[in-house]
Structure 1
């Protein structure tokens, strides 16, 4: 197992522990809604501190139940994750495409350099009169390429 696989396994284990430990340890059992969101917790704290507090704004849409509110929040999280995954996928694809194009360009340059080297050898043979043809005649088109 390489180093990255070990780190990924450890991170996965930590995330699983963070999800399971509050449930197994019974955190929040003393509350009416044990795993309510931060908004509900803040509202409760504010009304305890100052009972006559009036909010500055009211929500544009109030879901009819907590389940629908949770579903809308999950949908929002899924859409956000999809946008991030799309962005990172595009970014990685562009990097890989650039690397492939660079590799192709380098390979083409190597091929051009190699053919230029063999072309100069052909030019030397032609200049010395050894064109590869019988009797020292002009080189064939294949030799010129």
Structure 2
């Protein structure tokens, strides 16, 4: 059963997640919301007249594929970080168990 502190924290998390969605409902990139810093940086660099000296080896065929590859990269990184943290936690637990014997 959830105690009072957990219920309050859960309610705060829900409120924090819903408020921005309600505030920016229906607003998108056309109005300047949710535009990434990558796009702004690219525009700022193009304004200086800079010409890149190489091009990408492979361009994803669509934005969906690009998002998929980004999500896959994030998932692989999360698995690696989770494994390392779990490994060291297990090592610490084992050392503690050995010390108690």
Does TM, scored on the shorter chain, surpass 0.5? Answer: yes
Could you list the runs of 5+ residues in structure 2 that have no partner in the other structure? Answer: none
> Which of 50, 53, 58 lines up with 2:55 in the alignment?
58
User: Deviation at 1:74?
Assistant: 0.7
The equivalent residue for 1:44 is 43
Could you list the runs of 5+ residues in structure 1 that have no partner in the other structure? Answer: 105-145
Aligned pair 1:82/2:79, yes or no?
yes
- Over alpha carbons, which structure has the higher Rg? 1
The equivalent residue for 1:131 is none
Cα 1:76/1:24, change in 2 over 3 Å: same
Which one has more relative contact order, counting CA pairs under 8 Å at least 6 apart? 1
Aligned 8 A contact 2:60 2:66 in 1: yes
User: Deviation at 1:31?
Assistant: 2.3
What whole-Å deviation, never above 9, does each CA across 1:44-92 have from its counterpart, x for those lacking one?
Answer: 2333x33x32124422321111111111111111111110000000000
Give the alignment's TM-score, normalised by structure 2.
0.68
- Report the RMSD for the aligned CA atoms in angstroms: 3.3
